[in-house]
Structure 1
């Protein structure tokens, strides 16, 4: 355990600039999401509130289609994970990776804030049940993957434009093992989002809505 903690601390110190960039963009995205919800037009807000109210009214009575939900959750994560990794393989990927970080933060901030404001004080339970469980796993994995992709893209940029004889980054050693660990954790998050969060949501809806 101490070895793992020391290794994580060493990695953070070595790549703290990348961690800082990812966290800044992620937090900016969350802020933009909160801003959009706060200044949403009344007509758009009413449409979303009507849809979400009908959703919460029916979710407690209808069984969860886990197979369909699992497919959608996997597809949603693939559409985020794969572009980040592919951009990491290019020398121009850094700005686009950071934009994806911001988009991830935006969706999280928008979703959480909308649920909170739609049901006033009662929305906190639904927001926590529907957003938090899987994102406790997703967010660290997402940050780690973004940092790895930034390191990969930077190495390719240096090799292409700075013509350095040695552009190997020790951080990228055993990168396959790191990516496998991240993928496994992502899959745990997928299972949580598919099989745990819906039951949390059903419980909250049935008890409080």
Structure 2
């Protein structure tokens, strides 16, 4: 039984870059943990200020007084697209390799802080809110960023190896084309995550806020 070409390519990619995937996943999880720790390091006044703005936002969501879905979609998509494009540029530049690590770590901090703060301030209700407001789009965004990070890191390392290997290395143009193709595929996948963030998450948040408010 022949394997599907796409599955075969993905399998080979995962196998060849398993160590890099392990590294970036650990790096991202360290960011998540650090973000959760930062929540506990905030003083009472800072937590109260953040919680005030948070409750104001949830109040606007429950009333439907938030930005239009189209505007939210555009803001979300272009924000994430710039993040991915920046990693692509950093990979091409080679010297930007350390910044890719920082970007992945910062993404983990944002997720960890957001979920940690909601749970810290609102308990299980905060967990439920974070589940519907943060998780849907991040089920796509996080893997997309991790894959882009791995591909960018691998591309940079390959460019470095090519500088020291005068013979036997792969021509640069096909490598750049494959690298760019991955970025384009990831950019397309971000359309789905932005759609979830703009059209699905607000509806789920409104339902959860109404349930929490009735308790």
Q: TM-score, normalised by structure 2?
A: 0.88
8 Å CA contact 2:81–2:187 kept in 1: the answer is no
User: What is the alpha-carbon distance in structure 2 between the residues aligned to residue 95 and residue 176 of structure 1?
Assistant: 20
Q: Does 1:98 align with 2:101?
A: yes
Q: Which moved more, 1:69-78 or 1:15-24?
A: 69-78
Partner of 2:201: 197
Partner of 1:207: 211
1:66-116 residue CA offsets vs partner (Å, 9 max, x unmatched): 233123212321331121110010122221111111011111111111112
Distance 1:116 1:169, change over 3 A: farther
Consecutive aligned runs of 4 or more in structure 1 exceeding 4 Å deviation: 169-173
Runs of 5+ in structure 1 lacking a partner? none
Alignment RMSD? 2.2
User: What is the alpha-carbon distance in structure 1 between the residues aligned to residue 39 and residue 77 of structure 2?
Assistant: 26
Deviation at 1:200?
0.9
User: What is the alpha-carbon distance in structure 2 between the residues aligned to residue 88 and residue 44 of structure 1?
Assistant: 37
Q: Does 1:154 align with 2:186?
A: no
Q: Does 1:113 align with 2:116?
A: yes
8 Å CA contact 1:93–1:150 kept in 2: the answer is no
User: What is the alpha-carbon distance in structure 1 between the residues aligned to residue 49 and residue 65 of structure 2?
Assistant: 25
8 Å CA contact 1:73–1:190 kept in 2: the answer is yes
8 Å CA contact 2:88–2:183 kept in 1: the answer is no
User: What is the alpha-carbon distance in structure 1 between the residues aligned to residue 178 and residue 89 of structure 2?
Assistant: 18
Deviation at 1:163?
3.9
Q: TM-score, normalised by structure 1?
A: 0.90
User: What is the alpha-carbon distance in structure 2 between the residues aligned to residue 76 and residue 41 of structure 1?
Assistant: 30
